[in-house]
Structure 1
């Protein structure tokens, strides 16, 4: 409950850019009136895992960007990565976002059978 309230208030304040008392009252009221769904502990565990991946993705993205600048990456391929089972649409979006966040990879397609088609740049030359 508190996590939902904080998230909703954060979004509200980012959208309105106003920290006046009236706007805080409106934001709290809206955050409390919006419906919320039940979230199982397994989903929270998945969200925490994705949060950790997001934290790790930032330095990884910088590292990959410097690698692309310093060494040629002209080999490319498409690989399959299996998505964890029973992902909510929000977690699927975050998975795709995190894969695409790094410069060497981009998700081409999310297949119905639970796989991501990922385009990757690799070092070396095409043969």
Structure 2
């Protein structure tokens, strides 16, 4: 099951990059998804995949809310924080974590560090004094 999720993720990335639904592009995308090297880490648990997809679904309305909030209430405070990568993450799940963090308007992942941390840039409202 996890192999299908990895394959689907690779194929979805291919379609997002090419924005072409022709038969030739579908065949090329399937070929690329099958030929890309597989990670040598332990496969992610199905519950991790389901949890990240649920978090992405929740992030969609949150992203709209944050975009409206930034437009109507200025955010002038910036900070760079470190967030720990969840343990036992496959490269596909790490990609989805980075996508999820970057999807919302107030945060963006600047760097994935090999020691298990994300460097995240955040904008926030300045506290009232």
> Is the TM value for this pair above 0.5?
yes
Alignment counterpart, residue 88 of structure 1, candidates 73, 87, 90: 90
Match of 1:66 in 2: 68
Match of 1:118 in 2: 120
Distance 1:90 1:107 in 2: 16
Distance 1:16 1:113 in 2: 38
SS in 1 for 2:45: helix
CA apart distance, 1:16: 4.0
Distance 1:119 1:43 in 2: 29
Alignment of 1:1-127 (within 5 A): 4=4, 7=8, 16-17=21-22, 43-124=45-126
**Number of residues of Structure 1 aligned to a counterpart in Structure 2:** 115
CA apart distance, 1:124: 1.3
CA apart distance, 1:80: 1.1
Q: Is the 8 A contact 2:77 2:124 kept in 1?
A: yes
**TM-score normalised by structure 2 residue count:** 0.69
Structure 2 runs not aligned, ≥5 long: none
CA apart distance, 1:86: 1.5
Gap change, CA 1:104 and 1:114, over 3 Å in 2: same
SS in 1 for 2:86: coil
**Structure label with greater radius of gyration:** 1
**Deviations 1:104-127 (Å, cap 9, x if unpaired)?**
0000111111111100000017xx
**Deviations 1:26-58 (Å, cap 9, x if unpaired)?**
x7xx79xx58x8xx7852111101001100110
CA apart distance, 1:102: 0.4
CA apart distance, 1:85: 0.6
**TM-score normalised by structure 1 residue count:** 0.70
SS in 2 for 1:63: helix
